[in-house]
Structure 1
Amino acid sequence: MRPAGRDDTDSLYFTYPRFAAPPPDAARQGHHQVIVAGAGPIGMTTALTLAGEGVPVLLLDRKDTFNDGSRAICIARSSFHILERIGALSPFLDKALGWTTGRSFFRGRQILEFHMPDSPDEKFRPMYNLQQQYIEDYLWQAVAAHPLIETRWQTEVIGVSDLSHGVALGLRDPGGDYTLTADWLLAADGARSPIRAMRGLRLAGENYEGRYVIADVQMDHDYPTIRRALFDPACRPGGTVLIHRQPDNIWRIDYQLQEGETAEAATQEATVRASVAAVLDEIGHKGPWDLEWWSVYSANTLALDDYRDGPVFFVGDSAHIVPIFGVRGLNNGLADAQNIGWKLGWVLTGRAGQALLDSYTPERRGATLDVFANATKSTRFMTPPTRGWQILRDAALSLALQREWAGQLANPRQMQPYSYADSPATLTDVHGGVSGPVPGTVLPSAALTGGGFLTDRLGRGFTLLCFGQAPGLTDTPDLATLALDPADHAATVLGATAGSAWLIRPDLHIAARWHEMPSAASVQAAMDHVTARQDIRT
C-alpha cells in the first residue's frame, strides 16, 4: 500500500520500469524445453541457472514491472554465493548493506547482542539488506543480457494440461489467448500460485495467529546496520517490533498487531502513520520522516508434500511459505532455484540421468522442514500463539534482564544452509571420524594462502578438491580438478591432510569425500552415482 495520492509503484527512491507486452510477431505457437512462470527473484534465478547450463528458457510474468514494495530485504551469505554463480553479483555488492550484529531489547533495556559467524575466511558477510525492487532490478539486468533467456511480460498462464511428454500452457496477453508447449514447467509464481491451484494442489501446515504490519519509511537516522528487536516496548505494549536499515535511507519497521486489532483497521494510512511515529519516538528519532509503503503479513509454515507434479516443478513460495523470522523466505527460495536449475540443466544437456531430478524434493523439502523446525521456535517467541506462551516468553525476557544466558532465547537463529546428507545425489559417508566437512554439507569458505578464496577456484560444474598430487583426471566442463598444497591455509579450515579430497557439486554442496587420494576411476564412479548416470560400483 502507498500513501494517498500515490499509486502502487510511486516510490520515494526507486523508479519502476515498464515492460511492454510481447510484440505482435512473438511466436504464438511452438515448443520450448523449459518455461519458467514468474519473473520475481526466484523465477529469474531459476532462469539464469538453467541458462548458465546451456538451456534456453522462456520466462513469463503477468505483470508489466517488478513487484511493488520492498518485501524481502535480507539476503544471506549463501545466497550471495548463488548470485555469484549466476553472474549477477556485482550490483548487489555495490548497493547492499552488509551486517553481522543484532540487538534485542525488553521494555527498553538491551538483553542480547548477537554476532553472526564471520571471519577473514568468508568472502561475503553473513547477511545483507537490500530492498526487493533492487534485487529484481539487478537480476533482471542479468536476465535481459543473457542470449538464452526470452522474457514475456504481461503474459498470464491461464491453463496447464499434461501431454504425453510435457505440458501445454494456455497463455493470455494483451494480444489475445494462445497455447505453447514445453517439456518442463517451473512454477515460480508465488505464494498464491495460480499454477498450483490449476494442478489441484494445496499447501499443508500451520497458520499462526500473530500478524505484523511492515512499513518502510525514509529518514536520515544514524543508527548502524544492526537488526533491532523490541519486546514489549512502550509504543506497542505486549507486542514485538523489528527494525532494519536499508539503502537510500529507507528503514523497515515491522510491528505486531495487538489482540483485537484487525488488519483492515491497522493498515489504514492514519493508523500506520501513528504507529510508526510511536516506534520512532521509542528509538529516539526526532527528525523528519516520510512513509514509503506498507503491508501486513502473518507467520505460516506451509508446504507441498511433493515439489514435483509430473512435468511441473514448484520453486520458492509456490512450494512453501515460511515465517520471516530468521530471514528464511527469499533465501530458501533462491536455494530451490539453484537446486532445480542445475539439475534440470544437466539432464537436458545429456550430462545426467533423469533420476537426478528425483533428488529435488527430498533435498529442498527437507530444507523447508528444517526451516520450519527452527522458524517455529522463533515464531513462538516473536509471536506467542497462546496466553501461556506469552507468559513463558515474558518470563524468559524478564530473566534476561538479570541473566545474560537467558537473552539467547531471543536469538532469531538466522538461516543456515541445509545438509543433503541423506539425498540420493550425495554419497553415503564411509569415513566417519575423519576430520573435515562431510557429504551433504556446503563447502566451507576459506581464504587461500596465495590470495583469494577457495570458491574462486572452483569449476562451473563439479570440482574435485584435493590436497596433494591429484589423480590423473582430464579437466572438462563437467568436472574440474583443484589441487592445493596440504600446507595451504584452506587445508587448515577444512581439516585436510595430504591425500584428502572432496567432490563438490555445482551448488557448492559436497557430494563425496575421501581421506586418501581417490583414483580417477573412483571419482568417475562417484560422479556417475551423483548424477544418476549409473549405479556406483564398489
Structure 2
Amino acid sequence: MSPFRDILDAPSFLHCIAFRLETLLMHQPTTQPRPSIYYPYQVFAPWLPSQHPAQERKKVVIAGSGPAGMVTALELARHGVPCVVLTSELQFSQGSRAIVFTRRSMEILQQVGTAERMTENGLPWLYGNSYYRGQRVFRMESQHDTDDRFFPMLNIQQQYMEEYLYEACAAQPLIDFRWGNKVVKVEQKAPVAHVTVDTPEGEYQLDTDWLVAADGGRSDIRTALNLQMEGASYEGFFVIADIKIDLPLPTERFAYFDPDWNPGNTILMHREPHGIWRVDYQLPPGETPEQALRPESLKARINAQLAMIGHAGVPWELDWSSVYSARTLTLPDYVHGRILFTGDAAHLLPIFGVRGANTAFQDAQSLGWQLAFVVKGLASEKLLANHSAERVGAAREIIDEAGKSTRFMAPPSAGFRLLRDAVLSLSLTQAFVRPLYHWRTSRPHAYTHSILNSLGDDNALFKAGPAHGAPPQNIRLGANDFLLDHLGGGFDLLYFTDAAAIPEALQKVVQAARAQGVPLKVIAVGANQPVAGADQTLADAEGHFRQRYGVLANGVAYLLRPDQHICARWLTLDATRLQAALNTALPQ
C-alpha cells in the first residue's frame, strides 16, 4: 500500500481537510483476469479523463464498488439522485469472500433489482449443525413461514453478487461507473469535497457535494483522516479455503469444535454453487498467515478435515485461500464533514453470524435514502446525523452479539477457553447447554430509539405487528405476490379499512406532502374493491394481514420510511397525527 503524506492541519472540517497518497506512477490496476476454476473474471476498460469532457460538480461521489458502494448508488438512483462510482480495480473482487446472505439482505436486494438473479443461482438453506467429538450436539433451525418470499439464508459467492449489482448499476442512467479510478486526495472546503482521482493515464479533479467512503476494511480515506475505531481485535487467525469437491452433504452450515486434528480450535464448512465448498479453520497460536497459506499446510489440513467427516481420499482442487482475524470495531461517527463512511470503511465485524456484507446492505439502504432526501432538499443534514446514530447503534449491537460468538469460536483467554471447553464437554450429555452453540445469526437492526419515530402515535398500545424502527413483516398476498413487492421508493402509508374511501382530511395531508416533493404512497388494506384516495388496494379476505399487524378495527395505520422501517403506527389516525409524524421523519 502506498504511504500517505502528512494530513494537512485545519481548525475544522468546515475549513479544510486534505490528504494525499504518494503516487510515483500513474495508477495501474492489473489487467490480468483473476485466476479461478469456476468464475470467469472479466477485465473492464478503465474510465479515462481524456475521453470525457471537463468534469462538472457532482451531487454524490462514491469511492468503492463493493456491496456497500453499489447498493448505495442504486438506492440513490431509486430516489432520483445521480452519482459517480469510483473503483480502483478493473474487475470484481478475488475469491468468494461473503457467501451467506440473509433474508433481510435479499429483501433489500429486491428493492434494487438483483434479488431474482441471486435466488436463481444461489443455494437456500435453513439449518446449522454443531459437532463435538463426532457427535452432533446442536441443530439450529432458522425461522421460515409461508409469509416469507426468501429463505433465511442463501449461499452464493460474492463475485456473482457483485456482477449482478454492477449490471444493475450499468443499466441505470443516473449511475456513472468508473473502472480503474482511484481516489488519491480529498480536500474539504464546505460545502464541497475536492477529490483527486488517479487513472492509468493520470489524474483529474472531481468536485462533489458529498463523498461516500465505501472503500472497504482497509479504507485509505479513513486511515488518511486518522480516524480511530472503537472496539476490540482478537489475536486468533482463520484460514478461508475454497475447494472444488463433490461431497454428498446438504446445503447447511457445519461447525466442528475441538477436532483431533486441530485441538482447541473450530472449523466451519459451507456448500457454495458450482461444486465449491468453503472450509474455514482456526490456526494454532503462533502460526503466521504466511505459514498457514503454504500449499503443503493447506493440503494437510483440508485432507485432515475431510478424513474427519468420513470423506478421506476424495479428490479436491483449491480455488482460493486467504487469512482473516476477528475484529469488532466501529467508528463512533460515520459523518465527517462532506465525507460519509459506510460498510467496512465504517466498521469491521467478525464474519461469524454472516455479518459482513449483510450489515453493509443495511448501511447502504439507510444511507441511500437519507442522503437522497438531503440532496433533494426534503430534509436538513440532521437526517445524515440520524443515519450515523442509527447505524453506529446497529454496529454496536452487532459487536455485542458477534463478540459472544467470537469468544465461543475463538476464546481470547484461558478463562474463556475453560468456560467454552466446559460447555463442549457438558453438551455431550446435557441438552440445556446446547443452545449456547447458537451463532447469533445476523438480523436486521430495529431503530427503536430513532429520532424519526413518532412520539405521538400508539406504538405502545399495539399487541402485535412490527414496532417502532423495525423492518416490516412480509405478508403473502398470492401465489407469487408479497407485501414487500409493493413497498419502496418513498414513504408508504398502510391504511387498514374496508370503507370506500380514505378520509378526506388524510388525503389532504398526503397531497400537501407530495406537493412539497415528498414521495408518499397510500396503500389501503382490507377492502375487496379499490379505495378512493389510495394508490393501491390490497384485499385481506381472511384477515391474515390484519392479524400479523395487530389490527382489530378500521382506521389502523402504519407509516413506513423509504427503507421500509416503521416510524409510526396508530390505532386511529387523523390528519394532525399524520402531519406530525411526517414532520418528525423529515427533520428541517
How does the TM-score come out when normalised to structure 2?
Answer: 0.87
Displacement after TM superposition at 1:28 (Å): 4.7
Verify: 1:466 aligned to 2:495, yes or no.
yes
Amino acid at match of 2:363: D
Counterpart of 1:296?
A: 323
- Would the aligned equivalents of 1:449 and 1:488 in 2 still touch at CA under 8 Å? no
TM superposition outliers: structure 1 runs of 4+ over 6 Å: none
Moved more, 519-528 or 43-52: 519-528
Distance (whole Å) between structure 1 residues aligned to residue 184 and residue 459 of structure 2: 51
Counterpart of 1:536?
A: none
Counterpart of 1:280?
A: 306
Distance 1:180 1:423, change over 3 A: same
Distance (whole Å) between structure 2 residues aligned to residue 494 and residue 402 of structure 1: 41
Distance (whole Å) between structure 2 residues aligned to residue 101 and residue 379 of structure 1: 20
Amino acid at match of 1:525: A
Moved more, 234-243 or 476-485: 476-485
Distance (whole Å) between structure 2 residues aligned to residue 509 and residue 369 of structure 1: 19
Verify: 1:47 aligned to 2:88, yes or no.
no
In the alignment, structure 2 segments of 5+ residues that lack a partner are: 1-31, 527-539
Distance (whole Å) between structure 2 residues aligned to residue 265 and residue 88 of structure 1: 39
Distance (whole Å) between structure 2 residues aligned to residue 21 and residue 309 of structure 1: 30
Displacement after TM superposition at 1:236 (Å): 1.4
Verify: 1:513 aligned to 2:569, yes or no.
yes
Moved more, 378-387 or 484-493: 484-493
Distance 1:460 1:389, change over 3 A: same
Counterpart of 2:34?
A: 9
Moved more, 53-62 or 454-463: 454-463
Distance (whole Å) between structure 2 residues aligned to residue 160 and residue 482 of structure 1: 44
Distance (whole Å) between structure 1 residues aligned to residue 479 and residue 317 of structure 2: 49
- Would the aligned equivalents of 1:187 and 1:313 in 2 still touch at CA under 8 Å? yes
- Would the aligned equivalents of 1:159 and 1:198 in 2 still touch at CA under 8 Å? no
Q: How many residues align?
A: 526
| Match of residue 547, structure 2, among 467, 492, 498 | 492
Moved more, 296-305 or 493-502: 493-502
| Match of residue 419, structure 1, among 446, 455, 461 | 446
Displacement after TM superposition at 1:257 (Å): 0.3
Distance (whole Å) between structure 2 residues aligned to residue 228 and residue 88 of structure 1: 28
| Match of residue 388, structure 2, among 345, 361, 370 | 361
Moved more, 464-473 or 504-513: 464-473
- Would the aligned equivalents of 1:467 and 1:497 in 2 still touch at CA under 8 Å? no
Amino acid at match of 1:119: D
| Match of residue 46, structure 2, among 21, 24, 31 | 21
Counterpart of 1:248?
A: 274
Distance (whole Å) between structure 2 residues aligned to residue 27 and residue 369 of structure 1: 44
Task: Note the 1:20-99 alignment, pairs <5 A.
Answer: 20-23=45-48, 24-99=50-125
Distance (whole Å) between structure 1 residues aligned to residue 352 and residue 550 of structure 2: 33
- Would the aligned equivalents of 2:488 and 2:563 in 1 still touch at CA under 8 Å? no
| Match of residue 310, structure 1, among 337, 347, 352 | 337
What SS is found at the alignment partner of 2:92?
coil
Distance (whole Å) between structure 2 residues aligned to residue 74 and residue 338 of structure 1: 18
- Would the aligned equivalents of 1:443 and 1:510 in 2 still touch at CA under 8 Å? yes
Counterpart of 1:4?
A: none
- Would the aligned equivalents of 1:42 and 1:316 in 2 still touch at CA under 8 Å? yes
Percent identical residues: 42
Amino acid at match of 1:440: G
Verify: 1:124 aligned to 2:156, yes or no.
no
Distance (whole Å) between structure 1 residues aligned to residue 64 and residue 360 of structure 2: 13
Verify: 1:532 aligned to 2:553, yes or no.
no
Distance (whole Å) between structure 1 residues aligned to residue 547 and residue 123 of structure 2: 30
Provide, for residues 294-317 of structure 1, a one-character-per-residue CA deviation record: whole Å limited to 9, x for no partner: 000010011111101011100100
Moved more, 88-97 or 343-352: 343-352
Counterpart of 1:3?
A: none
Verify: 1:453 aligned to 2:482, yes or no.
yes
Displacement after TM superposition at 1:33 (Å): 0.6
Distance (whole Å) between structure 2 residues aligned to residue 481 and residue 520 of structure 1: 14
Counterpart of 2:193?
A: 167
Distance 1:28 1:109, change over 3 A: farther
Counterpart of 1:391?
A: 418
What SS is found at the alignment partner of 1:448?
strand
- Would the aligned equivalents of 2:459 and 2:468 in 1 still touch at CA under 8 Å? no
Distance 1:268 1:8, change over 3 A: farther
Displacement after TM superposition at 1:260 (Å): 2.5
Verify: 1:323 aligned to 2:350, yes or no.
yes
Distance (whole Å) between structure 1 residues aligned to residue 126 and residue 38 of structure 2: 25
- Would the aligned equivalents of 1:356 and 1:531 in 2 still touch at CA under 8 Å? yes
Amino acid at match of 1:71: R
Counterpart of 1:482?
A: 523
Verify: 1:374 aligned to 2:397, yes or no.
no
In the alignment, structure 1 segments of 5+ residues that lack a partner are: 1-6, 534-538
Distance (whole Å) between structure 2 residues aligned to residue 433 and residue 467 of structure 1: 16
Distance (whole Å) between structure 1 residues aligned to residue 54 and residue 46 of structure 2: 13
Displacement after TM superposition at 1:318 (Å): 0.3
What SS is found at the alignment partner of 2:425?
helix
Task: Note the 1:195-210 alignment, pairs <5 A.
Answer: 195-210=221-236
Counterpart of 1:439?
A: 468
Amino acid at match of 1:471: P
Verify: 1:155 aligned to 2:181, yes or no.
yes
Verify: 1:406 aligned to 2:433, yes or no.
yes
Task: Note the 1:257-272 alignment, pairs <5 A.
Answer: 257-272=283-298
Moved more, 281-290 or 295-304: 281-290
Displacement after TM superposition at 1:430 (Å): 4.5
Distance (whole Å) between structure 1 residues aligned to residue 210 and residue 131 of structure 2: 49
| Match of residue 193, structure 1, among 203, 219, 230 | 219
Verify: 1:503 aligned to 2:554, yes or no.
no
Counterpart of 1:349?
A: 376
Verify: 1:103 aligned to 2:122, yes or no.
no
Displacement after TM superposition at 1:522 (Å): 2.3
- Would the aligned equivalents of 1:421 and 1:439 in 2 still touch at CA under 8 Å? yes
Displacement after TM superposition at 1:144 (Å): 0.8
How does the TM-score come out when normalised to structure 1?
Answer: 0.95
- Would the aligned equivalents of 2:335 and 2:384 in 1 still touch at CA under 8 Å? no
- Would the aligned equivalents of 1:448 and 1:488 in 2 still touch at CA under 8 Å? no
Displacement after TM superposition at 1:58 (Å): 0.5
Amino acid at match of 2:141: H
Displacement after TM superposition at 1:451 (Å): 6.5
